[in-house]
Amino acid sequence: MGSKNYFEDVATEWDTMRKGFFSENVRRKALTVAEIKPGAVAADLGAGTGFITEALLQHGARVIAIDESPSMLDELRKKMGGNPALQCEVGESESLPIEDNSLDYVFANMYLHHVEHPAVAIHHAAQKLKKGGALVITDLDAHEHEYLRTEHNDRWMGFDRGDIAKWYRDAGLEQVRVDCVGETCNSTSSCGGGDASISIFYAIGYKM
């Protein structure tokens, strides 16, 4: 089963599942480092049922929520109750349905470890930013919990922070920072693979 099918299957349960993995502190940190401003236009890549999108809307941003799972986006629309500041689009990391140079922010939470080519995904996300715009990623540090590949359809077992910083710079982003969120992602294997407690990083860089 690929990531798309996995998320299609768990869409109606995702909010409950997510709360068991990590807390609202992750999105709080992401929005704090971004210094999100009311009226900004932001994309939420791999939006799911709206963990980041919800916070962006609360901060007065207009949001384009993008996910490859239509079922996830259906759940997001229901939750947001037809908010006129929200636009939902089906899309993938290398074919984002957004014009280049059009966004103040791009956010991607727990998205990168599901894409096929992380460096390429970062490059495509950076292209969508206006001058001065920021790309903010929150994701897993490198780990060795193999069961996450089979049980959660993770493509990547987290990332080295040095690689993330390099991919940001290769995408033309500047003032790059990669640091700890101060939160862990926690899960337990359903097939005897053990327990995972993985630190979460944030990365931010600007298009200058």
Q: Are strands 129-140 and 103-109 parallel, antiparallel or unpaired?
A: parallel
What digits encode the pLDDT tens for the residues 161-199? 999 999 999 999 999 999 999 999 999 998 877 899 999
**pTM of this prediction exceeds 0.95:** no
Classify 9 as helix, strand or coil.
Answer: helix
Domains of the chain: 3-207 (3.40.50.150)
What digits encode the pLDDT tens for the residues 111-137? 999 999 999 999 999 999 999 999 999
| Ranges 12-21, 87-96, 177-186: which has the least confidence | 12-21
